[in-house]
Amino acid sequence: MIIHLRTACVLVLLTAASACTSAPSVRYVTLAEIQASLPATPVVAGFDIDDTVLFSSPGFNYGLNNQDGPGGTNKYGESPLKSPVFWNDMNSWFDNFSLPKASGNALIQMHLKRGDRIVFITARDSSKVSIVPKILKQSFSIPKPEVLFTCDKPKRSAIVSKGVTIYYGDADSDMLAADSAKARPIRVLRSPFSTNRTSYAKVGLLGEEVLKDSEN
């Protein structure tokens, strides 16, 4: 009897332990599933830019890690992402070396075919000169890309003001902003070659859907 009780206790403990350690399930979706889930009428689809539709790590890597300033320092200073000179270079020149992501292109083409409006909402700083719309136009065949720069501010108000109902992004902050704006958040995975390591700890864990095979 005592042996049976001990066995039962061990089983209960093992079950509890496995329940505590089992990973939460991530909701993966395909492009076809997203398309099938959309209403028949056109929607406004919002897109983040960096690591979502463009692989822009080359420019950011140079901006953050160059040693081309005085005495081998960074030419954009100690905080390149706060430098207007960096943002001007990024937005007006470095994007020539950004690569369009195939998954981003597939999403955009699906929305264009449906007649949806597409809005790009990026946390990049704006700059005096910008080729960002031109790069998006030539990369994804969008006649006149609409781009909003939130300048490192949360994207919630931009998502709301543009009437975005579905928002694609790679960062945790994108998912949280979309959710707080009552838009449907869809996570796009970062390329394994991306140099961005920020805001990416909770992939699939914020209640969002995750687009399968969207690293490239």
Strands 54-55, 99-100: pairing is antiparallel
Q: Confirm or reject binding of residue 170 to Mg ion (CB under 5 A).
A: yes
x-or-dash string of contact with Mg ion, 119-158, rule CB under 5 A: ----------------------------------------
Dist CA 59 CA 61 (whole Å):
5
Tokens 């995750």 -> residue: 210
Dist CA 137 CA 18 (whole Å):
50
Active site residue 213: no
Q: How far is the CB of 115 from Mg ion (least distance, A)?
A: 26
Q: How far is the CB of 205 from Mg ion (least distance, A)?
A: 17
Nearer to Mg ion, 48 or 125 (CB): 48
Q: How far is the CB of 11 from Mg ion (least distance, A)?
A: 46
Dist CA 2 CA 12 (whole Å):
15
Selected range binding Mg ion among 18-26, 45-53, 74-82, 107-115, rule: CB under 5 A: 45-53
Selected range binding Mg ion among 51-59, 68-76, 91-99, 100-108, rule: CB under 5 A: 51-59
- Of the residues 48, 89, 172, 209, which one makes contact with Mg ion according to CB under 5 A: 48
CA quadruple 123, 45, 50, 96: dihedral sign: negative
Dist CA 120 CA 143 (whole Å):
13
Q: How far is the CB of 15 from Mg ion (least distance, A)?
A: 40
Q: Confirm or reject binding of residue 215 to Mg ion (CB under 5 A).
A: no
Selected range binding Mg ion among 48-56, 137-145, 154-162, 177-185, rule: CB under 5 A: 48-56
Dist CA 114 CA 40 (whole Å):
8
Of the residues 50, 116, 125, 170, only one is catalytic, namely 50
Least Cα distance to 108 among 179, 37, 166 occurs for 166
First to last CA, the chain: 60
Q: How far is the CB of 83 from Mg ion (least distance, A)?
A: 19
Q: Confirm or reject binding of residue 50 to Mg ion (CB under 5 A).
A: yes
Q: Confirm or reject binding of residue 51 to Mg ion (CB under 5 A).
A: yes
For residues 94-103, b (16+ Cβ closer than 10 Å) or e, as one string? Answer: bbeebebbeb
Active site residue 125: no
Give the active site residues.
48, 50
Give the interface with Mg ion as residue ranges (CB under 5 A): 48, 50-51, 170
